[in-house]
A = this chain, B = another copy of it.
Amino acid sequence: MVQELIDISISDLMTDVNRVACVDPDNSLEHALLVLVKSGYSAIPVLSRNGMVQGTISKTLILDSILGLERIEFEHLADRKVKDSMNTDVTTIQLGESFVRALELAVNAPFLCVEDDAGRFVGILTRSAMLQRIHRYVKM
C-alpha cells in the first residue's frame, strides 16, 4: 500500500520549466511585481541566464522591501532589483530523489525547485500536485 506512494517519481508530478513563470536577477522589482500580479502567483523562481536557480521572489518580499514607517513606498519599486530582495535560501530537490523526501521538504515550502544532475533548473514540484496524488492513494 504505502509502497505505491513511495514509488512515485518526481518527474511525473512536476510542472515543466516551460510552464513556470520566472524572472531574472537583474529585473526591477516593478517588473517582478507585475509578473507576479499578472500570473496570480505568490512566489516564483529567479533564474540566471544559464538556467540555474538563484532564488525566489514573492509579493511578500517585494512589499516588505518598500514598507516604510507610515506607508508602503511604491515609488522605490523601479530603482530596486530582484537580486537585492530575493530569497536565496531556495528549497530544491534532484530529479532522482524520492517522493518521501519531496513530502518532507513540502511541509515548509509551497513549492520545490527541481534540478537535474548538472544542477540545472528543470521545473517545480507544487504542494497541489503532491496532495492530488496522495488523495488518489487514500481514496482507493
Contacts and interface: CB of A to CB of B under 8 A. Distances in A.
Interface of A: 1-2, 5-6, 30, 33-34, 36-37, 40-42, 59-60, 63-64, 67, 71-72, 74, 100, 103-104, 106-108, 110, 127-128, 130-132, 134-135, 137-139
Contacts of A59: 42, 59-60, 63
B37 A64 contact: yes
B107 A132 contact: yes
Contacts of A139: 100, 104
A109 to B, nearest CB: 9
Contacts of A107: 128, 131-132, 135
Contact of A60 (B37, B64, B106, B128): B37
A13 B49 CA distance: 42
